[in-house]
Amino acid sequence: MMLASVVPLLGAQKANWTSLFNGKDLDGWKQQGAGIFKVEDGCLLGTQTDGKGGDLFTTREFDNFECRFTYKMKWPGNSGVWFRDKYQFDILKYKKPVAFSGSIYCPGKLFITTNLDEGLENRDGWNEARIFANGDHLAVWLNGKKVGDCRDSTLAKGRIGIQVHGGEGAKNMQILIKRIEVRPLAAGETPKE
């Protein structure tokens, strides 16, 4: 009896996730600025070869949501996944102040949470990341470990995007995304660890 009541619930949770990338083309995305964005071997690839960066944003906006994505980075580089237009799950190795992938960046505020554990990221392979944004509650995970949790009300709604940072230090970097999905959150819903 108990198993029968759990199975539909698990199916409903799985059904709430919507893929933002179809693995074939950039349908549902729009580029801003320079940078090169394309689909290669079923992955969304972002790069720059001339020192000029750019962003690739969804055409849809999101307010309260959870996003999960799988990424790999060709280093050295500086990238990230924007959410609500103004926040970013940063994918980087930053020196001053020290910050590693999984830090939350916000223009004008720099890092509003900082991941100081460089060893959490697989720098040669795929990584699993998760973003939780519900009201002013923001939280992020890298490879299953929560690396940031804060309250910030800079922006309540916006697009999700992929960044290719400009500058010579990021020249020839590559960010690969093979899966990126979102699910809506109910008001007051808390993150599941």
Tens of pLDDT along the chain (193 residues)? Answer: 333 433 343 444 456 999 999 999 999 999 999 999 999 999 999 999 999 999 999 999 999 999 999 999 999 999 999 999 999 999 999 999 999 999 999 999 999 999 999 999 999 999 999 999 999 999 999 999 999 999 999 999 999 999 999 999 889 999 999 999 999 999 889 998 7
Cβ neighbours of residue 127 closer than 8 Å, sequence gap 6 or more: 70, 71, 72, 101, 121, 142, 143
Domain membership of residue 192 (yes or no) is no
CA 11 to chain centroid = 25
Question: What is the per-residue pLDDT for 15?
Answer: 60
Q: At 95, which CATH number? A: 2.60.120.560
Domain membership of residue 191 (yes or no) is no
Which one, of 31, 27, 60, 81, lies nearest residue 157 by Cα?
60
Domain membership of residue 190 (yes or no) is no
Indicate the burial class of 92 (C-beta count within 10 angstroms; 0-12, 13-18, 19 or more): buried
Domain membership of residue 47 (yes or no) is yes
Domain membership of residue 193 (yes or no) is no
Q: What is the dihedral of CA 173, 46, 20, 91, to 10 degrees?
A: 20
Domain membership of residue 12 (yes or no) is no
Domain membership of residue 7 (yes or no) is no
pTM equals: 0.90
- If one counts the domains in the chain, the total is 1
Which one, of 130, 113, 123, lies nearest residue 173 by Cα?
123
- The predicted-structure confidence for 160-192, as pLDDT tens digits, reads as follows 999 999 999 889 999 999 999 999 999 889 998
Beta bridge partners of 164: 54, 79
For 53, the domain range is: 19-184
CA–CA separation, 2 and 193 (whole Å): 23
Question: What is the per-residue pLDDT for 14?
Answer: 55
Domain membership of residue 156 (yes or no) is yes
